[in-house]
Amino acid sequence: MTATIIDGKAAAAELGDAIAVETLRLREKGIEPGLAVVLVGDNPASEIYVRSKTAKTAALGMHSVLHKMPGETAQTDLLSLIDRLNADPAIHGILVQLPLPPQIDSDTIIAAIAPAKDVDGFHPLTAGRLAAGLPGLKPCTPLACIILAKRIHKKLDGLEAVVIGRSNIVGKPVAQLLLAENATVTITHSKTRDLPAVCRRADILIAAIGKAEFVRADWIKPGATVIDVGINRVLADGGKTRVVGDVAYEEARAVAGAITPVPGGVGPMTIACLMLNTLRAACDIAGLPQPKI
Ligand code: NAD
């Protein structure tokens, strides 16, 4: 058996088309959804992410602003910028690219973003609403995982889902979203005993660890759906680097029923979900109903 490849690029393009249509509808009402992306310092990976996010925003017909600040920026200066963006009526979403330099406390910065504009979904209020099952913006990468899993399973009701990783950015919120979809959820982490055995229970396995090709084929139940969140740069032949996921893709493909590739899986869908959140935030702030996407 060879797994179905869940094409994140194609899925993201479909979602992007729907977002562009709704954005046009909103513009006809005089509202141009606006996303401000803030980059502090010159981390090369962050530069790449930020560039693709701002390019995509503009491509879908939204207002896109990039604020680049030097690596030695003081926390108070970043907080002042966030205050200005919170008050700016042309901005509906604010994303501060992580990681931040060591003199800046990420938690303080995230908490300063107006929850209505929290398109990354990391604000404690947004996380609390998600945990309580209340409506609100959903963090982009976890939402991307659910959308991709639902390309295979129309409903997740009663399915065994195992999440590897318990970060606030991926592991915990994806577990909450799975729970909201009525899956039976197990969260595993670095202290989990016999991780392969727990993973073998999964109908849906979500890997968000940050360790290259960590999940092996014999951890996967035959026919399971595997969503690989990992982005790991490894040295390839010729001294170049290449990006691999947290799952040993080639061997996993022979066992899984469906699998997301890296790159081309969760990554592009995460960016599409950021656009979706910006559109949703713009509708909410304007007091308009949510788009039917
Ligand atoms: P993190 O470092 O904050 O969390 C990693 C988690 O993995 C921790 O909860 C830890 O308990 C768990 N872990 C570590 N070693 C383990 C082990 N040996 N066994 C079991 N669990 C273990 O990372 P993160 O921010 O959640 O990101 C995880 C991965 O996802 C990274 O590769 C990151 O680059 C990637 N990521 C991708 C996207 C995307 O858009 N595709 C977005 C965010 C993160």
CATH number of 164's domain: 3.40.50.720
Q: Is the residue at 15 inside a domain?
A: no
Helix/strand/coil for 117: helix
Residue 188 has pLDDT above 90, yes or no: yes
- Cα(53) to ligand 1 centroid in Å equals 21
Q: Is the residue at 255 inside a domain?
A: yes
From CA 210, how far away is CA 169, in angstroms rounded?
12
Q: Which ranges in the chain belong to alpha helices (H)? A: 8-28, 44-59, 75-87, 106-112, 124-132, 140-149, 171-180, 195-199, 249-253, 266-286
Tell whether 153 and 96 lie within a shared domain. no
Tell whether 177 and 240 lie within a shared domain. yes
247 touches ligand 1 (CB under 6 Å): no
Tell whether 213 and 252 lie within a shared domain. yes
Confidence of residue 237 (pLDDT cuts 50, 70, 90): confident
Identify the residue whose C-alpha is closest to ligand 1 atom 35: 230
pLDDT tens digits for 68-127?
A: 999 999 999 999 999 999 999 999 999 999 999 999 999 999 999 999 999 999 999 999
For the chain, give the number of residues: 293
Tell whether 146 and 263 lie within a shared domain. yes
From CA 225, how far away is CA 152, in angstroms rounded?
8
Owner of token pair 């899956």: 183
Q: Which of 231, 266, 274 to mutate to test the pocket of ligand 1 (most atoms within 8 A of CB)?
A: 231
Start-to-end Cα distance in the chain? 33
Domain count across the chain:
2
Tell whether 74 and 154 lie within a shared domain. no
152 touches ligand 1 (CB under 6 Å): no
Tell whether 148 and 258 lie within a shared domain. yes
pLDDT tens digits for 48-70?
A: 999 999 999 999 999 999 999 99
Tell whether 148 and 94 lie within a shared domain. no
- Cα(188) to ligand 1 centroid in Å equals 11
173 touches ligand 1 (CB under 6 Å): no
Helix (H) or strand (E) holding 99: none
pTM: 0.97
Tell whether 189 and 224 lie within a shared domain. yes
270 touches ligand 1 (CB under 6 Å): yes
pLDDT of residue 238: 87
Confidence of residue 141 (pLDDT cuts 50, 70, 90): very high
Q: Is the residue at 133 inside a domain?
A: no
Tell whether 259 and 153 lie within a shared domain. yes
Tell whether 88 and 207 lie within a shared domain. no
Which amino acid, one-letter code, is at 106?
Answer: S
Residues with active-site annotation: 53, 97, 120
Residue 211 has pLDDT above 90, yes or no: yes
Tell whether 230 and 162 lie within a shared domain. yes
Q: What's the order of all strands across the beta sheet hosting 63-69?
A: 63-69, 34-40, 93-96
174 touches ligand 1 (CB under 6 Å): no
CB burial of 180-192 (b: ≥16 within 10 Å; e: otherwise) equals ebebbbbbbeeeb
Beta strands 232-235 and 241-244, pairing class: antiparallel
Mean pLDDT of the chain: 97
Domain with 205, as residue range(s), is 140-267
Tell whether 93 and 149 lie within a shared domain. no
**CATH number for position 64:** 3.40.50.10860
Q: Is the residue at 105 inside a domain?
A: yes
